[in-house]
Chains A and B, each alone.
Chain A
């Protein structure tokens, strides 16, 4: 029996979520007195994971197009070879693409949106965010193999150095009938999923021409930009920025909402964020009931001042 974590990489580097997943795995391995093994694709510097509690890393080398079936197959095979029983992954779009496939290949039960360390280990019970962040459900995984999908920023990153052993694994080539072409957004841009801070604009900003306010604030903070649903429906901003119950989920450390009323569907999707700030000129806006900090005022006056203040703060 062993715990295995899937360590996601981007351009060869471990993602921040990989460090969180391995920290979580380390604690679970300690509590169950087992080893912690990692699987990564194309890591260019496997040694970087040494500090985060991994005993052995299988680094799969492949230049295959991103076909969920093939990646899931490679993960499942290596998981079994390592003698894994619990598989831990993050919640990126890619891992949520692959792991439903893995769960069928391994006949494993799978819990997504896990927000905490297991509340019980035998049986394994996991606290999951449900009803789009309007509540929690505790789910027991009952099969021999189990998959835990943890939500970003829900556990934290802890160091624990181990004697890391690295094994390179050359993936055999497999047939795929897929052609895949990936289109990266602006390289500079931070994605909502990976961001620690998200700045979001609503209909209160009146029109797309005013979005430099949101972008300047985001740039100052190193944040990702987001928007409410009507804003993307009207084409002021791209779909990919729509957050909420029917858009992208946000689980950042800081969420700043400008000119967003705070409708229940919006709040549901961003509620997993730790600290929420609202800037709105209507004191009755429902967002004031959901936020930690609020400014009642005109965004067009408040936000430029905030950007100024932050620039001074950053240069201190």
Chain B
């Protein structure tokens, strides 16, 4: 079975967020890019399927040449092939359409994306792909089992969980729980050497019109100073929360 893992390249989780050009551009300088953490959980789950159920794992990213190191890392982790749609991603709809077009007429039974990218936090791409390719869809996916034609998955809801089963093809929006933090694969030397020989295919973009526009950015408002409460006078805290912050 062939699996496609969608990878978005995002600023490292420790990045300071700054804007330039009159707050109209995200400042990339000094920012380290990583595989979106939700996608890394999904990729690791795919590697287990490769090992145990003999699946072939492909990765895809919509992005310009800067994205290549992220795809190479996915290959070093163990993916078999990488694809990059060569365009700067502008919105979820565009990314979903590019990826859906790529999927058409190929026999991917399982498409693993992340619950959301940690940069724009859209949480839209997997649901859009599923609809475009007419596949089943599970968001906030925390566990997944598949065989040749069926799946069993668990979705995290606001107040609990939902077990969903059905037929492939399936698109998931995955997150931690698919695998654990300790299961994430750190590429070894051999993996890195092998990744250089694996194919990374560049695909021409098709969609140049976008449904949305980014008008500008804004930084968080500056925070006022903290008020410290003496631990011996904890009732002062209750008083502040009640009378000043009005939250209890």
Chain A: residues with CB nearer than 8 A to chain B? 66, 68-69, 72, 92-94, 96-97, 99-101, 103-105, 108-113, 125, 127, 129-143, 176-185, 189, 191-194, 196-197, 221, 229, 233, 239-240, 242, 245-247, 253-254, 264-265, 268, 271, 274-275, 277, 288-298, 301-302, 305-306, 309-310, 313
Contact = CB atoms under 8 A, between A and B. Distances in A.
Contact of A292 (B11, B161, B227): B227
B157 interface: yes
B7 to A, nearest CB: 16
Given A130-B119, A140-B212, A96 B139 contact: yes
Contact of B92 (A66, A93, A110, A295): A110
A181 B137 contact: no
A182 B162 contact: yes
Contacts of B91: 109
A294 B127 contact: no
Q: Taking chain A's interface residues, is the majority helix, strand, or loop, or is none over half, making it mixed?
A: mixed
A101 B17 contact: no
Contact of B124 (A112, A125, A136): A112
Contacts, number: 246
A139 B214 contact: yes
B104 to A, nearest CB: 15
Contacts of A221: 248
Interface residues on chain B, size class: 35 or more
Contacts of B177: 239
A93 B123 CA distance: 10
Contact of B17 (A69, A131, A176, A179): A131
A100 B131 contact: yes
B214 A137 contact: yes
B215 to A, nearest CB: 4
Contacts of B161: 182-183, 185, 240
Nearest to B139: A97
